[in-house]
Amino acid sequence: MIVLGYNGFGKSAEIFGRLFRATGIDRHLLYGHDSSAALVIDGKLVAAVEEERLNREKKTSSFPVNAMRWCLDSAGISFDDVDTFAFSWQFSQDVLNKMIAEITEDRSASVEQKFARLGRLAETHEAMFSESATEADFLEHTGHRLSPEKLVRVPHHIAHLMTGYHLSGGTDAAFLVSDGRAEWLSAIMGEVRDGEVKIFDDMTIDSRHSLAMLFSVVTRYLGFVPNNDEYKVMGLAGYGPPPEPNPFLEHVVETCPDGTYRIPYPANAVPAYYELFDRIFGGNPDGREEFDYRVRVASAAQHMLETVTAGQIRTLEARSDLPRVIFEGGLALNCVNNSKLLERSRFTGMDVSFGASDVGVAIGAALFASGRAGTPPRVDTSPYLGPSYDGREIQAALQQFADQVVWRELDPAEVPREAATLMQERCVIGWFQGRMEYGPRALGNRSILANPRFPDIKDIINERIKHREQFRPFAPVVLEHMAPEVFELGKKTSSPYMTFVVPVRPEYQEKIQGACHVDATSRIQTVTEQSNPLLARLLREFTELTGIPCLINTSFNVAGEPIVCSPTDALSCFLKTEMDHLFLGNFLVSRI
């Protein structure tokens, strides 16, 4: 049984740009962003890659033809060999009726505005959502005619849920899925027992009250890119406490005793909210990007998000007696919130996958379709699902840059020791090894690594390498068995995907200043010999040489670009920055 899951629309950027002004700073506010493909064969997830890594367009919504072809080529098969294509959206007639009602019942919109919105919905449905549009999109980009009996449309939130469920072992769990919007909902809650999904219908939140969309409006208000830079708001929140009382909870969000909430989202949401935010925070258009003002608003927004989701979790733990909870959807990328939700709940464990945001729905859709067809998924938890390159391919790439770099080939056993030796000082290295990781976090195969003991290493990486804001923190990678010595893990015993933030123990806060945020926390990645043998060996070597048990691990890219995929990408990025050295497989690369 061969299933190819995918997310993405060929016309999304054009349609949403023209009809909904999703251009410029709003370019990611559309359906199908983070397009991707995933291949499941006989229940096993064998390959997955985001389209952005191949077409080099960050957060692309394009039809994932390159990702599809790579997945198929990696398995030595073609489109004709695929039994089922699983699409991570399901715009049924019932969904469309609810989308129409969402417009017609909006009391903040005039009759003229409602008719205009209905017209835009009709055009979008015809061009993107309808069955004929899906089939035409597929044919146009792949040259393969998609027969209706081979297509499975998976509801977007179910695709999210299946990603988290199967990547966390496929055992019983309560769940919360929350994002900007799926087809028409923004959040669902429930539980999975014996493989059966039960949604608590009275706890669903439609997109008119989307918590993630509100957080995106705040992101935009502070001068960042919505549906992309929300993590910057999360990071800024660590620089100061939220104001009391919280203006967002006083004037914007209405929380209910049953864990639901209401957020007014008028037709003219952005200008209306800008005016409201200025009033309740004492801001003005010229001062919104001042650091102290950003911190005040960001800390209030983070506290608001934590308060609202905590209400959902309290209701969930009252409704379900299961011991663990799955949290998926774009809101689950707020790793500061994840840790607080777990520690303050009765749940003994929380799982947030490496594909929690829309990058993961291709995986979830494929696993759902495989199970529905009678082939139960049997998934390991490795995120290393993308392309890898052998020595011959790496050497060919090096030859293309022979006038700019020099290199020498190391014995494989020498690579970790050589890298650890270099990083005893303020040496920042590019680390390109094995199969590319999946998802928005660099997890040790396409990474930039450095020694965290130097207080100024954050500034060095932010200014000279990543070309990004100075307030941005860096994450540490640590051997799993060493993590409790350095960090206060609470209920967590591991954090393999950088989806949780934990306090740094006081005795290590000065020792790893480069990987410690201003509030003495870190978003950690834990590694074992089984999960990433080469990275684990590098950490052992580095600890032996320095006594420091972790490394700074940040994504191998510069601001605004996708994480590197190929050796050519890695060399191009290396030469754009002031990285000191690049480990490209077994090759140690330096500038001429």
CA pair distance 136, 194, nearest whole angstrom: 38
Q: What is the pLDDT of residues 204-220, one digit of tens each?
A: 999 989 999 999 999 99
- Which one, of 146, 22, 170, lies nearest residue 87 by Cα? 146
In whole angstroms, give the CA distance from residue 434 to residue 387: 8
Asked if the model's pLDDT at residue 265 lies above 80, the reply is no
Query: Residue 108 has what pLDDT?
Result: 80
Helix or strand run (H / E) with residue 340: helix 335-343
Q: What is the pLDDT of residue 9?
A: 98
Closest CA to 535 of 458, 428, 424, 420: 420
Residue carrying structure tokens 């949780």: 500
Mean pLDDT to the nearest integer, 191-212: 95
Residue 468 has pLDDT above 80, yes or no: yes
Grade residue 169 by pLDDT with cuts at 50, 70 and 90: very high
Helix H or strand E encompassing 5: strand 2-7
Nearest to 307 by CA among 258, 249, 265: 249
Taking the mean position of all CA atoms in its chain, how far away is CA 440? 4
Per-residue model confidence (pLDDT) at position 267: 62
Where would I find the H helices in 401-525? 415-422, 457-460, 483-486
Residues 224-250 pLDDT 10s: 999 999 999 999 999 999 999 999 999
Instruction: Name which residue leads in pLDDT, 271 or 20.
Output: 20
With beta carbons less than 8 A apart as the criterion, state whether 478 and 486 touch: yes
**Percent of the chain whose pLDDT exceeds 70:** 100
pLDDT for residue 454: 95
CA–CA distance, 229 with 429 (Å, rounded to integer)? 25
Nearest to 81 by CA among 89, 73, 91: 73
More confident residue, 266 or 113: 113
The percent of residues in the chain predicted with pLDDT above 90, rounded, is: 94
By C-alpha distance, which of 41, 35, 85 is closest to 60? 35
Question: Mean pLDDT throughout 509-531?
Answer: 97
Mean pLDDT, residues 446-456 taken together: 97
pLDDT of 379 higher than 90: no
Domains of the chain and CATH, by start: 2-91+130-168+357-372 (3.30.420.40), 205-351 (3.30.420.40), 391-591 (3.90.870.20)
Q: Which residue has the higher pLDDT, 110 or 516?
A: 516
452 preceded by cis ω (within 30°)? no
- The whole-chain average pLDDT of the chain stands at 96
pLDDT above 90: residue 272: no
The pTM (predicted TM-score) of the whole model is 0.97
Taking the CB of residue 92, how many other CB atoms lie within 10 A of it? 12
Scored b (16 or more CB within 10 A) or e, 472-486 reads bbbbbbbbbebbeeb
Tell me how far apart the alpha carbons of residues 477 and 236 are, in angstroms, rounded to a whole number.
22
Radius of gyration of the chain (CA): 23
Q: What is the pLDDT of residue 373?
A: 94
292-323 pLDDT, tens digit per residue, is 999 999 999 999 999 999 999 999 999 999 99
Give the closest residue to 430 by CA, choosing from 449, 456, 404.
449
The continuous run of DSSP H or E covering 38 comes out as strand 36-41
Sequence-ordered strand ranges (E) for 79-222 = 84-87, 151-153, 173-178, 185-193, 196-199, 205-206
pLDDT at 497: 98
